[in-house]
Amino acid sequence: MHTRLRTTRETVMTAEADPNAHTRMHSVSEETRSIVDLVLDYSRRRLLATDTPLDHASSPGELTRLAGRTISEEGIGASRALAAFEMVLAPACITTDHPQYLSFIPSAPSKAAMAFDLVVSASALYGGSWLEGSGAVHAENEVLTWLAGEFGLPAGAGGVFVQGGTIGNLSALVAARDTARRARTGAGLPARPEGGWAVVCSAEAHSSVKSAAEIMDVDVIAVPGGDTGSLSAAAVREALESDGERVFAVVATGGSTNFGIVDDIAGVAALKDDFDFWLHVDGAYGLTAMLSPLARHHFAGVERADSVIVDPHKWLFAPYDVCALIYRDPENGRLAHTQHAEYLDVLTEQAAYDPSDYSIQLTRRPRGLPLWFSLATYGAATYRDAVTHSIALARRIADEIERRPGFSLVRDPQLSVVVFERDGWSKADYERWSDQLLEDQQAFVVPSSHAGRTNARFAIVNPLTTFEQLTAILDSMK
Ligand SMILES: *Cc1c(COP(=O)(O)O)cnc(C)c1O
């Protein structure tokens, strides 16, 4: 056993004495077995626990005081390191899969998906190339093809699982601009239009679209969403009529993060008959709702998209962090993203499907596999039921809010986000109430705001969230 603390001098002497010291971390030994057992035992307990509290953030000073110094020349051993995690660090992380975590967009990974994430790590899988990871890539691609079918995209649509929606939006927009550039140079025009490239989106589009535009050094033409907050075809037409040549892409949001409102995707898609642009649908949170008969109709027009994204770590019950990026014609992604280097030629010269060719990431874990395993295990119908449950619950609690004196809905929910106000409350009232909810470990509901007014917001994706839990939160707003 190597858990006894040693001085550096002793370690050096041991290293001299033990010619196999350099293999300690990798060989299978008694120590390795006990480390693996410890970690699997913890994972098993956490995965099957039904009473993990919400927990809350701590300060750096408090964490240093409680966890002590964990990094040293000699190491503290697995049992002490795991104890520091279990007793100090984990309780300082909010339990994002708690049924009463209702802020931002929560995460609600299925048990099968969480458990299989361990398998992905245990197998050291590489998902960047067919040569190295064909089995994993095959399974990921089956999921992407299934999703593309759900979204109404044609056969042949495909892409790659990337880290998150921000990378997905950026990768899609880079492919869109590359396609527009190729069209221009093919027609004998300069690669860049006069005035520079621009992307059109709703003023309520996700911040990552603006961030992508910033990175790409292109302009954002933000079109006001109107009363409903949804991007209208008429507003996009106006932008295209005045700036059309500069616009390489229009981003429609399939479920805004703040309200879960879907843009007029069908109307925007119809503009493709009159204008030349790449339609990207950012459905990081909301596109999953297409699985439910309660919401599918909101998404008419997605079938005409050139690219879409959806985050399985939001509403497709996968653990962090994963985004499905799907191109209508993956060749546009490949042309934009394939990296060329002498050491990579062996890959790029083969005709095989290399996931790395479809986004800005090269090295990647096959992060779509937890979703694949869960979908394969439970079947798509189980997903439809779970998604439908959240949409129905959002509708039901919205009705309850409308009915209650002293409460008002900010907007009618379309998907599973419900935004409401407590009449007469100031920002400080919301903050005091929200802090108290977390202190009581009842719920995690942080205040949000719209048009300068503070509000409260339920984002519901966890199938274990109940109507009674939500009404108890409303009751606490006194
Ligand atoms: C969450 C979200 C994103 C960003 O996704 P990340 O996975 O957090 O990078 C982009 N667009 C929308 C609509 C989102 O809800």
Chain segment 268-321, per-residue pLDDT in tens: 999 999 999 999 999 999 999 999 999 999 999 999 999 999 999 999 999 999
Model-level pTM?
A: 0.95
- Cα–Cα distance for residue pair 319/321, rounded to 1 Å: 6
For residue 256, the ligand 1 atom closest to its alpha carbon is 13
Mean pLDDT computed over 56-84:
97
Q: What's the confidence (pLDDT) of residue 313?
A: 98
Q: How far is it, in rounded angstroms, from Cα 161 to Cα 143?
A: 10
Query: Do 205 and 250 form a contact (C-beta atoms < 8 A)?
Result: no
Ligand 1 atom with minimal separation from the 165 CA: 5
Q: Which token pair is 69? A: 């110094």
Residue 137 confidence (pLDDT): 98
Residue nearest atom 14 in ligand 1 by C-alpha distance:
284
Looking at residues 217-245, what average pLDDT do you find? 93
Confidence label for 228 from pLDDT (cuts 50, 70 and 90): confident
pLDDT recorded at residue 16: 62
456 within 8 A of 422, measured Cβ to Cβ: yes
- Which of 250, 265, 279, 314 lies closest to 108 in space, CA to CA? 314
Share of the chain above pLDDT 70, in %: 97
pLDDT given for residue 3 in this prediction: 46
pLDDT at position 236 = 97
pLDDT confidence tier of residue 391, bands split at 50, 70 and 90: very high
Rounded to an integer, what distance in angstroms lies between the CA atom of residue 236 and that of residue 307? 18
Ligand 1 neighbours by CB, cut-off 6 Å:
105, 164-166, 169, 206, 208, 253, 257, 282, 284-285, 311, 323
| Contact (CB, 8 A) for 287 and 310 | yes
Q: What's the whole-number mean pLDDT along residues 345-356? A: 85
pLDDT above 90: percentage of residues in the chain: 92
Q: Which residue puts its alpha carbon closest to atom 3 of ligand 1?
A: 165
The rounded Cα 56 to chain-centroid distance in angstroms is 22
Q: Measuring from atom 4 of ligand 1, which residue has the nearest CA?
A: 165
Side chain identity at residue 371, one-letter code: L
Residue with CA at minimum distance from ligand 1 atom 2: 284
